[in-house]
């Protein structure tokens, strides 16, 4: 495999555009891509035609507007290029209009009532800032999705809006530092994607995995991740073959798949690409997830992207490495070495700290889902409390700035931002403080709360918008200043003083931190039902509206969609659980108990033994199985009651407070019985069998 040759082979990227388009057309399209202007229809026609010819050469017969509705996955409707001719034949045709706009029937996508049924049509609009590509005989055109009244119905449009806000405000700041060369600022993301691989045969035998993506039952296996022998361990041949295949597929799609390794849990792995602009990173991560699943099936395996496929075993996250970059390649979170660079860095750094503090709740709820509720706050992933890790060096700098002394206390004079040089901030490679939800790692922040199955869009909309809103405040203040360096110094010191309480460098998993965080007044939203309604808090709506990211109506409807999504997910899990308990586990245990009774009788007949073991086992299994039965009955009743709720928040709360605890009890009975019932009788593959199936 010659990687440079296959890399991006299926992507209509800048290089291909330059090759296939007339010079003027390319220039005009490039201007649109760079955010300069709208695409005119003449240009669109030429681009569409070139794109079609290129795609047909790659074997494409169809095209699709590829978009990201609120379902969390991507949507596509394929149309062929064929167009009939007078002589009864067809030609391959694709117009600028078809490239720029599509009209999928939108009535079945969640919109939270934004799109009343009489205006069921939504339209998709080409996003030229993310490249088109060919996959499985189809030309994919990345698109945003709107209603006819202009409300956004998807995850891409608000992300693009948040990136624009960040661009506008960050540029204002850069100009104040005398930077006249940067034309654009965009946020960058590199997402580390965790996943599980299991054999197809065990997957097929687990209804829960098939219906819900996670196991609803399963006793702890004798060996889990205790020995930590899987983490960074040698990759098995079969998994290696899979990863090789996956890399090749991703490279063809122009995705910079870079790192792959085993993760902590058995059967768990990770893939990380090289970071890129957030819009592209988001589209590409959708492709990564989809390709992971597809390639797994080719290898007779299943890829699980659920946040918590196995209880008691580490779940999967998606670390969102985030920074800001100029079009000239300057990373705005790189400390630099000169006093001026240091000053600029400290300003952007302080802006992120303030943004995280002021919008803790938004960050928390941007990663809230039924699946991620199993991770956050459990003892393996970041807690549900948002805080920032900055490391010793920066902690020292902050302290010195607050006290008005030189760092390390060596100098007698006052440290002045923009005048003095800061100490070098080491890139954090050794102690990464893996417990922190939001960690500064030398030249970027790593947001670790994102769930493995999430679209990158939600969390990055929040980070971009929140940071943009703070930068706006900063720019407003600094633009008025007569002495820039003095104003800068004061602003950074003020900001860090005020938001210091969000910084925590210790162990985020400890109970002491929970207490300490409560004392500090940090927000602690325990689950989705509790977190999500805060989306529509006045301060959040005000910020999102002022940054032009969401309208009030969009926030309100999105809150509802997300809560409904949560409720539906748990209801499906509860229904699957009820079915498995009643139709599989209960009968299996009964059968085994019967066999024990038979063996007891046989012993009696033979006149051997006192049957003590059978008696004990029969009694305990019969009791637990009866409890399983009655708890399941209770669950069924709760599922009926759940249906009567019309308010999304109240419904979610009922599910979180009433249904989930009963599900936990049912599981406990089943898992206990699993350890006692003969493996011949147990209806499902065990954790051990699943986790060590590959």
CA of 618: how far to CAs of 584, 589, 597, 615, 672, in Å? 18, 10, 8, 5, 14
Return the residue nearest ligand ADP (CB atom): 190
- Answer whether 37's CB lies under 8 Å from 53's CB: no
Whole-number minimum distance, CB 431 to ligand ADP, in Å?
Answer: 12
Whole-number minimum distance, CB 288 to ligand ADP, in Å?
Answer: 11
Report what 158 binds from ligand ADP, Mg ion, none; CB cut-off 5-8 Å by kind. Answer: none
Give me Rg for the CA atoms of the chain. 28
Whole-number minimum distance, CB 434 to Mg ion, in Å?
Answer: 8
Of 446, 504, 497, nearest in space to 189 by CA: 446
d(CA 136, CA 133): 10
Spell 659-672 as b/e; 16+ CB within 10 A means b. bbebbeebbebbbb
Q: Nearer to ligand ADP by C-beta: 208 or 283?
A: 283
Q: Nearer to Mg ion by C-beta: 382 or 533?
A: 382
Whole-number minimum distance, CB 353 to Mg ion, in Å?
Answer: 20
Q: Nearer to ligand ADP by C-beta: 28 or 314?
A: 314
Size of the site for ligand ADP (CB under 6 A): 14
Whole-number minimum distance, CB 260 to ligand ADP, in Å?
Answer: 11
Q: Report the Cα 391 to chain-centroid distance in Å.
A: 25
Of 328, 341, 335, 350, nearest in space to 180 by CA: 328
Cβ within 8 Å of residue 86, ≥6 positions away? none
Residue given tokens 């954790």 in the structure block: 687
Whole-number minimum distance, CB 281 to ligand ADP, in Å?
Answer: 8
DSSP state of 360: H
Q: Nearer to ligand ADP by C-beta: 117 or 430?
A: 430
Residue given tokens 């910079």 in the structure block: 256
Q: Nearer to Mg ion by C-beta: 156 or 319?
A: 319
Whole-number minimum distance, CB 468 to ligand ADP, in Å?
Answer: 17
- Footprint of ligand ADP on residues 555-594 (CB under 6 A)? none
Out of 189, 549, 561, 677, the only residue in the binding site for ligand ADP (CB under 6 A) is 189
Spell 49-74 as b/e; 16+ CB within 10 A means b. bbbbebbeeeebebbbbbbbbbebeb
Whole-number minimum distance, CB 30 to ligand ADP, in Å?
Answer: 24
Report what 331 binds from ligand ADP, Mg ion, none; CB cut-off 5-8 Å by kind. Answer: ligand ADP
567, 568, 570, 576 alpha-carbon torsion, rounded to 10°: 160
- Answer whether 298's CB lies under 8 Å from 245's CB: yes
Q: Nearer to ligand ADP by C-beta: 122 or 190?
A: 190
- Footprint of ligand ADP on residues 319-378 (CB under 6 A)? 321-323, 331
- Footprint of Mg ion on residues 284-323 (CB under 5 A)? 319
Q: Nearer to ligand ADP by C-beta: 367 or 677?
A: 367
Burial class (CB in 10 A: 0-12, 13-18, 19+), 549: buried
Residue 456 found at the interface with ligand ADP (CB under 6 A): no
Size of the site for Mg ion (CB under 5 A): 1
Q: Nearer to ligand ADP by C-beta: 291 or 321?
A: 321
Out of 443, 551, 590, 599, the only residue in the binding site for ligand ADP (CB under 6 A) is 443
Q: Nearer to Mg ion by C-beta: 286 or 320?
A: 320
Whole-number minimum distance, CB 318 to Mg ion, in Å?
Answer: 11
3-state secondary structure 237-302: HHHHHHHHHHHHHHHHCCCCEEEEEECCCCCEEEEEECCEEHHHHHHHHHHHHHHHHHHHHHCCEE
Of 320, 330, 58, nearest in space to 171 by CA: 330
- Answer whether 503's CB lies under 8 Å from 433's CB: no
Q: Nearer to Mg ion by C-beta: 319 or 364?
A: 319
Report what 349 binds from ligand ADP, Mg ion, none; CB cut-off 5-8 Å by kind. Answer: none
Tokens of 374: 């199993």
CA of 157: how far to CAs of 35, 167, 250, 550, in Å? 14, 15, 24, 10
Residue 257 found at the interface with ligand ADP (CB under 6 A): no
Whole-number minimum distance, CB 432 to ligand ADP, in Å?
Answer: 7
Report what 306 binds from Mg ion, ligand ADP, none; CB cut-off 5-8 Å by kind. Answer: none
Q: Nearer to ligand ADP by C-beta: 193 or 557?
A: 193
Residue 188 found at the interface with ligand ADP (CB under 6 A): yes
Report what 82 binds from Mg ion, ligand ADP, none; CB cut-off 5-8 Å by kind. Answer: none
Report what 272 binds from ligand ADP, Mg ion, none; CB cut-off 5-8 Å by kind. Answer: ligand ADP
- Answer whether 438's CB lies under 8 Å from 133's CB: no
Whole-number minimum distance, CB 143 to ligand ADP, in Å?
Answer: 25
- Answer whether 233's CB lies under 8 Å from 302's CB: no
Q: Are strands 438-440 and 388-389 parallel, antiparallel or unpaired?
A: parallel
Q: How many residues does the chain have?
A: 694
Catalogue the long-range contacts made by 680-685 (C-beta closer than 8 Å, 24 or more residues apart). 681/588, 681/589, 681/591, 681/592, 681/595, 682/588, 683/580, 683/584, 683/585, 683/588, 684/205, 684/206, 684/207, 684/217, 684/218, 684/580, 684/584, 685/202, 685/205, 685/206
Q: Nearer to ligand ADP by C-beta: 196 or 322?
A: 322
Q: CB under 6 A: which stretch of 14-22, 38-46, 187-195, 221-229 binds ligand ADP? A: 187-195
Report what 317 binds from Mg ion, ligand ADP, none; CB cut-off 5-8 Å by kind. Answer: none
Q: Nearer to ligand ADP by C-beta: 192 or 194?
A: 192
Whole-number minimum distance, CB 237 to ligand ADP, in Å?
Answer: 24
Whole-number minimum distance, CB 353 to ligand ADP, in Å?
Answer: 17
Report what 275 binds from ligand ADP, Mg ion, none; CB cut-off 5-8 Å by kind. Answer: ligand ADP
Contact mark string toward ligand ADP, 266..305, x via CB under 6 A? ------xxxx------------------------------
Out of 299, 444, 472, 534, the only residue in the binding site for ligand ADP (CB under 6 A) is 444
- Footprint of ligand ADP on residues 192-221 (CB under 6 A)? 192
Q: CB under 6 A: which stretch of 88-96, 188-196, 227-235, 506-514 binds ligand ADP? A: 188-196
d(CA 559, CA 573): 21
Whole-number minimum distance, CB 429 to ligand ADP, in Å?
Answer: 6
Helices then strands (H, E): number in the chain?
Answer: 24, 18
DSSP state of 38: P
- Footprint of ligand ADP on residues 507-546 (CB under 6 A)? none
Q: Nearer to ligand ADP by C-beta: 146 or 322?
A: 322
Report what 190 binds from ligand ADP, Mg ion, none; CB cut-off 5-8 Å by kind. Answer: ligand ADP
DSSP codes joined into one string, 140-205: EEEEEEEETTS-B-BSHHHHHHHHHHHHHHHHHHHHHTT--S---EEEEEEEEEEEEEEEHHHHHT
Tokens of 64: 């699709």
Residue 551 found at the interface with ligand ADP (CB under 6 A): no
DSSP codes joined into one string, 589-641: HHHHHHHHHHHHHHHHHHT-S--HHHHHHHHHHHHHHHHHHHHHHHHHHHHHH
Report what 656 binds from ligand ADP, Mg ion, none; CB cut-off 5-8 Å by kind. Answer: none
Q: Nearer to ligand ADP by C-beta: 436 or 528?
A: 436
Positions in the binding site for Mg ion (CB under 5 A) = 319
Positions in the binding site for ligand ADP (CB under 6 A) = 188-190, 192, 272-275, 321-323, 331, 443-444
């Amino acid at each position: 495999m010659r990687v440079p040759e296959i890399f991006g082979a299926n992507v209509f990227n800048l290089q291909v555009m330059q090759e296939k388009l007339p010079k003027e057309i390319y220039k005009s399209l490039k201007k649109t891509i760079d955010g300069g202007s709208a695409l005119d229809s003449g240009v669109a026609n030429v681009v569409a035609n070139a794109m079609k010819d290129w795609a047909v050469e790659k074997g494409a017969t169809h095209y699709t507007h590829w978009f990201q509705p609120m379902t969390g996955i991507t949507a596509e409707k394929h149309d062929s290029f064929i167009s009939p001719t007078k002589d009864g034949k067809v030609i391959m045709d694709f117009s600028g209009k078809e490239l720029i706009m599509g009209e999928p029937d939108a009535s079945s996508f969640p919109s939270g009532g934004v799109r009343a049924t009489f205006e069921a049509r939504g339209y998709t609009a080409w996003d030229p800032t993310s490249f088109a590509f060919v996959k499985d005989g189809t030309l994919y055109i990345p698109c945003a999705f709107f209603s006819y009244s202009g409300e956004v119905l998807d995850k891409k449009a608000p992300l693009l809006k948040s990136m624009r806000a960040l661009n506008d405000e960050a540029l204002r700041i850069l100009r104040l530092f005398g930077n006249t060369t940067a034309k654009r600022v965009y946020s960058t993301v590199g997402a580390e994607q965790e996943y599980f691989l299991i054999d197809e045969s065990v997957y097929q035998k687990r209804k829960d995995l098939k219906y819900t993506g996670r196991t609803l039952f399963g006793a702890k296996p004798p060996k889990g991740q205790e020995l930590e022998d899987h983490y960074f361990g040698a990759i098995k041949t079969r998994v290696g073959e899979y990863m090789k295949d996956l890399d090749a597929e991703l490279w063809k799609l122009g995705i910079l798949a870079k790192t792959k390794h085993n993760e902590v849990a058995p059967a768990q792995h990770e893939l990380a690409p090289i970071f890129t602009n957030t819009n592209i990173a988001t589209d590409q991560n959708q492709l990564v997830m989809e390709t992971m699943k597809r390639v797994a099936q080719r290898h007779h395996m299943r890829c699980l992207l659920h946040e918590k496929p196995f209880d008691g075993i580490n779940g999967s996250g998606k670390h969102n490495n985030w920074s800001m970059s100029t079009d000239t390649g300057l990373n705005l979170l790189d400390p630099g070495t000169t006093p001026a660079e240091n000053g600029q860095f400290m300003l952007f750094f302080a802006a992120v700290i303030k943004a995280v503090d002021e919008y803790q709740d938004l960050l928390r709820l941007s990663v809230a889902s039924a699946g991620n509720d199993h991770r956050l706050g459990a003892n393996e992933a970041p807690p549900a409390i948002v805080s920032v890790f900055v490391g010793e060096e920066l902690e020292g700098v902050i302290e010195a700035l607050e006290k008005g002394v030189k760092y390390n206390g060596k100098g007698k004079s006052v440290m002045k931002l923009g005048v003095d040089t800061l100490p070098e901030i080491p890139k954090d490679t050794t102690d990464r403080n893996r417990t922190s939800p939001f960690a500064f790692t030398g030249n970027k922040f790593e947001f670790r709360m994102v769930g493995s199955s999430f679209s990158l869009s939600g969390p990055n909309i929040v980070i971009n918008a929140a940071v943009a809103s703070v930068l706006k405040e900063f720019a407003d203040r600094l633009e008025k200043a007569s002495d820039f360096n003095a104003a800068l110094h004061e602003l950074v010191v003020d900001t860090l003083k005020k938001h210091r309480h969000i910084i925590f460098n210790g162990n985020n998993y400890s109970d002491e931190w929970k207490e300490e965080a409560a004392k500090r007044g940090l927000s602690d939203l325990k689950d989705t039902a509790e977190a999500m309604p805060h989306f529509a808090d006045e301060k959040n709506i005000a910020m999102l509206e002022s940054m032009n990211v969401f309208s009030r109506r969009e926030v309100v409807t999105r809150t509802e969609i997300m809560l409904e999504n949560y409720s539906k997910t748990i209801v499906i899990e509860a229904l699957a659980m009820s079915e498995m308990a009643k139709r599989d586990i209960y009968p299996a245990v009964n059968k085994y108990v019967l066999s024990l009774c038979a063996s007891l009788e046989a012993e009696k007949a033979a006149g051997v033994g006192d049957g003590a073991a059978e008696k004990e086992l029969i009694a305990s299994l019969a009791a637990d199985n009866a409890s399983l039965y009655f708890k399941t009955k209770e669950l069924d009743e709760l599922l009926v009651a759940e249906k009567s709720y019309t308010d999304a928040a109240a419904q979610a709360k009922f599910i979180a407070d009433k249904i989930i605890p009963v599900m936990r009890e049912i599981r406990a009975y089943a898992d206990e019985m699993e350890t006692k019932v003969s493996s011949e009788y147990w209806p499902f593959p065990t954790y051990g069998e699943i986790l060590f199936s590959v």
